[in-house]
Structure 1
């Protein structure tokens, strides 16, 4: 099994594997071009996003700067708007539905590490490696994620949800609710 296959399966993997490093460098080049591109060059923006992501729906708008690890593990549905300074750590699949609103500084994480340092750090001479595993993140249709929110690995957010600004989403959120806080909890049905 390749390190990429382990990563997407959720097993511990070597993030410095040559295939993954190649994907990382490819994404960095595309992101550099995208983030420096004139905002009026809409066709070029769309071309780069199509090359960067696994799936990008029509009408997707991503403000710059935008950051991700690989890009190829990200799928974004039609008419979704991602505001400035968002970071999607797509070590596993990140799926965002249609008509989404992702506010500034939203962070979506799919990677995790063992809590105990003795289990997390693998020393090999003067080099250290860190055990990493992943879980996918899924965000449904018609979801608004407020600014400065953080979404943890393995979380699923249902359809028609509003996540209040500054939330730390550590658990799944059902359809049709307002949820916010640290940790994020359901406040009421919508």
Structure 2
């Protein structure tokens, strides 16, 4: 497939735009779609079209949904007083797979990244502040990534929520369960010491 016909070349170019897909992976995927049952390719294209046409942000939390509200926001069994602030809908999936969080979410749509031109205006921070000010929220959990950008996003979010009388917490960080201390880097060890709690 090195000398690809235009349609195949376009497919290869589009596949390499996906995260984690390089030229060789794109070639394997294209070969799979063309060499096997072509119904697989048709079904995949229909699924992609359906996602593009039907999926939109939830009006409350900005998670992905087909309706006005996502299934989490419309679930009356969830505790709407605890809002976990995450960067992406993918993060919501991670928490939901863990199966222990019973509150609701707020998806920022990314994190502050000045070098990538992602400022506060590109995130759903204004909507989060409005949501908290409407009332009913007791705690906001800042669950952004433990990176420079994620920490900066968490700091800005906490500053924006200052004065709302809402408890603001941050995810704990430290030594993972089962890890040997000799394999842990100094930053993780420092975070673990700072975040220690009574035993």
Same fold at TM > 0.5: no
Instruction: Report the structure, 1 or 2, having the larger helix content.
Output: 2
TM-score scaled by length of structure 1: 0.27
The TM-score with structure 2 as length reference comes to 0.26
1 or 2 for the larger relative contact order (CA 8 Å, sep ≥6)? 1
Query: Which has the greater radius of gyration?
Result: 2
